[in-house]
Every structure is written in C-alpha cells, then in structure tokens.
C-alpha cells in the first residue's frame, strides 16, 4: 500500500486525533488511494448554519490550513464576525471564526439547494485542493445525545458550552435508526481494492460508535476484504486530547488501551490493534483477546510522526492475514465478567 501500489485504504475518523492520522495516511498513500469517512454525529445547526466539526477538522488538516493550537477551525483566523455578534448580544459560546464561517455558509447554501452532504463535502475538498476522498458517514442527520446525571444534552452543548464537565452515563444517536450510511462509504468497504480499514485514534464513544451504529456498517466491516485495525486513542491511561478518558472512567471502564480494544473486540470488528510504547505492557492482554497488536509510538506531534505511524499501521494491516478474502472473522472470545 505504499506509493505506487494500487491498493486503497479506508480511514474512520473523528476530529483532531483522527485527522492527524488521516494526514499521515494521505502522505504515504497515493492521492486517490485514501477514503476518510468522518463522524457527522457532532454536526449541528448553529446561527442558521450547518456546522460539521469533524468533517471540517479533517478537511482543514488535509488542506494544511488547520489551527494546530485549538485543534479545530482554521489557522490565521480572525474573529470580526464573532466580535460583532457579541456586540449585538448574539450567541458566542460556540466560536465561529471568519474564515471558518465561509465553510458553513457555503455548505448551508449548497445543502439548501438540494446537494447531499457527500456532494457538498466533495466540492469543498476540490476547492481546498484535497486529493483524498473525504466522506460524511451519512447524508442523513444523526445527532449524538449525551446522557448525564442531570438529563440529556446535545453534543455541542455538552462538549463546548459545558466543557465536558457533566459526568456521562451513556450516549444515544438520534436519527441513527433511519439514517443510511453514505453509499460511497459502503462501496469503499465493499471494493475489492480496499486493502485495509483503519479506525483512527478517535473517541470510541462519540466519534467512532456513531459511524458503527449506522445500519449495515458493522456487517460491511466484517465483510470487507482487507484487515480492519484500530489505533488506541488512550495512551498511558489518558487521552491525548478530548474527553475519551474521562468518559471511560465515568462509564466504569478501565481507562486503558485494553479497555478500548475490548470495546471494539466485543463487536467482532477488528483484526488488529495498535498501542503506544507506553502501553507495551498491555499488548499480551490485547493479544489474548484475539487481536494481534502492534506496539509503536502513537503520539503524533510532528508531521514525521504522522507519516511514520500511518506507514507502520498500513504495513501492520498488510501483514495481517492478507489471504483472509471474504472469510468471516473469527468469533470474539467469551466476555470475561
């Protein structure tokens, strides 16, 4: 799957951590050999505009215009719109920069004109000069609802307005029962040229699970020709960014790479798992779950880190039962109590 090879790779991604690995993958694979499927359950309508944070983080990262300090939004951003809105007494808890605003305006216009989110995203990617294919998980609305002690919160109210403070007891994905996965997403998984699927180091509960919850996705992942490997978002008992570790603790799970591996393995979705050197001591336990495990540096500070991890992850996937073909994956081991 190195440059020059015809093989294709599918990456499932949330925001920041996923986008970093997607960038690495985009740089070690030929331009048309990567499909990045983004969570859209963080999306919401704000100030009359459709905001798609994970799609935008991935797009901006692949286009080289992401804000590396915040992890979301664009670099070299200005805030005139927000300041003017504040002056008028408008809602400013969710910060839309001037450049970023153009994306939401253009997306909203196109959606209102009847384009699908897949079509709009393709147009935005073309305009930003992105070679990889970036897809929303669905063209239909799915919205994460966070279950907390004090009731249900919409995702952005939980995440941004309340700074992830309320303890969580679970999640539900409103709309997922009727939403269909993006046809291009399913086609990519079914494509015989797809040699590997990478679950990026994104939040398992609110970035990856919404994708997996779409009708037909788990079955397509079990059928896809190439191995499915996940990179742990938990390193040394903490999340690199975001509330994944806090959520695991609140849900009563061990805050470990093993905890993440179990979460996916129980659904029989993975063929391999990647953990950080800091968690090398957990590799044997993950292997005991039936998951071959690669131990390597997964913290992506530099571009070189992203490229190295991407290259190692696809080499690892390539080394996993490349002859599996359409044979169904083995059943997961019995759950331990």
Binding site for ligand FO1 (CB under 6 A): 14-15, 42, 51, 53-54, 56, 72-73, 94-96, 100, 156, 159-160
| Furthest CA-CA distance within the chain | 62
In whole angstroms, the minimum distance from the beta carbon of 55 to ligand FO1 comes to: 8
Nearer to ligand FO1, 77 or 279 (CB): 77
Q: How far apart (Å, rounded) are the C-alpha atoms in residues 11 and 230? A: 10
Encoding tokens for residue 320?
Answer: 């996993």
Tokens 């147009």 map to which residue? 123
In whole angstroms, the minimum distance from the beta carbon of 260 to ligand FO1 comes to: 17
Nearer to ligand FO1, 15 or 204 (CB): 15
Nearer to ligand FO1, 14 or 226 (CB): 14
In whole angstroms, the minimum distance from the beta carbon of 199 to ligand FO1 comes to: 16
In whole angstroms, the minimum distance from the beta carbon of 42 to ligand FO1 comes to: 4
Nearer to ligand FO1, 2 or 161 (CB): 161
Q: What is the 3-state secondary structure (H, E, C) of 52-96?
A: CHHHHHHHHHHHCCECCCCCCCECCCCCHHHHHHHHCCCCCCCCC
Instruction: Please state whether beta strands 194-199 and 238-239 pair in parallel, antiparallel, or not at all (unpaired).
Output: unpaired
In whole angstroms, the minimum distance from the beta carbon of 54 to ligand FO1 comes to: 5
DSSP 8-state secondary structure symbol assigned to residue 128 = T
Look at the alpha carbons of 335, 202, 312, 220 in this order and tell me if their dihedral is positive or negative.
positive
Q: How far apart (Å, rounded) are the C-alpha atoms in residues 226 and 42? A: 28
**Using CB atoms, what's the residue nearest to ligand FO1?**
15
Q: How far apart (Å, rounded) are the C-alpha atoms in residues 38 and 120? A: 14
Q: Is 128 exposed, middle or buried (0-12, 13-18, 19+ CB in 10 A)?
A: middle
Tell me how many degrees the CA angle 74-75-77 measures, rounded to the nearest 5.
75
In whole angstroms, the minimum distance from the beta carbon of 35 to ligand FO1 comes to: 20
CA distances in angstroms from 195 to 39, 227, 232, 270, 315, listed in the order given: 21, 7, 20, 14, 11
Nearer to ligand FO1, 72 or 205 (CB): 72
Nearer to ligand FO1, 5 or 109 (CB): 109
In whole angstroms, the minimum distance from the beta carbon of 105 to ligand FO1 comes to: 13
Nearer to ligand FO1, 50 or 262 (CB): 50
Nearer to ligand FO1, 56 or 279 (CB): 56
In whole angstroms, the minimum distance from the beta carbon of 102 to ligand FO1 comes to: 12
Cross-strand bridge partners of residue 10: 35, 197
Chain-centre distance for alpha carbon 264: 14
């Amino acid at each position: 799957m190195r440059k020059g090879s015809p093989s294709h790779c599918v990456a499932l991604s949330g925001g920041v951590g996923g986008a970093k690995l997607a960038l690495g993958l985009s740089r070690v694979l030929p331009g048309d050999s990567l499909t990045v499927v983004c969570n859209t359950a963080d999306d919401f309508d704000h100030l009359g505009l459709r905001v798609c944070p994970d799609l935008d983080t991935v797009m901006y990262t692949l286009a080289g215009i992401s804000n590396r300090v915040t992890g979301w939004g664009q670099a070299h951003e200005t805030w005139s719109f927000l300041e003017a809105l504040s002056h008028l007494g408008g809602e400013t808890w969710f910060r839309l920069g001037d450049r970023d605003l153009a994306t939401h305006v253009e997306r909203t216009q196109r959606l209102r004109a009847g384009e699908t989110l897949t079509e709009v995203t393709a147009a935005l990617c073309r305009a930003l000069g992105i070679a990889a294919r970036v897809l929303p998980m669905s063209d239909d609305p799915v919205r994460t609802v966070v279950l907390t002690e004090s009731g249900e919160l919409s995702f952005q109210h939980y995440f941004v307005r309340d700074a992830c403070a309320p303890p969580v007891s679970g999640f539900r994905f409103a709309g997922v029962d009727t939403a269909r996965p993006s046809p291009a997403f399913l086609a990519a998984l079914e494509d015989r040229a797809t040699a590997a699927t990478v679950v990026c180091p994104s939040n398992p509960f609110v970035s990856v699970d919404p994708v997996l919850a779409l009708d037909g996705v788990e079955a397509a992942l079990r059928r896809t020709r190439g191995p499915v490997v996940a990179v742990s978002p938990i390193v040394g008992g903490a999340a690199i960014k975001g509330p994944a570790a806090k959520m695991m603790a609140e849900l009563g799970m061990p805050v470990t790479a093993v905890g993440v591996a179990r979460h996916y393995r129980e659904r029989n979705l993975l063929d391999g798992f990647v953990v950080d050197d800091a968690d090398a001591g957990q590799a044997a336990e993950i292997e005991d779950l039936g998951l071959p495990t690669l131990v390597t540096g997964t913290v992506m500070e530099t571009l070189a880190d992203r490229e190295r991890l991407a290259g190692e992850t696809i080499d690892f996937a390539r080394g996993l039962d490349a002859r599996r073909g359409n044979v169904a994956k083995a059943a997961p081991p019995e759950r331990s109590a």
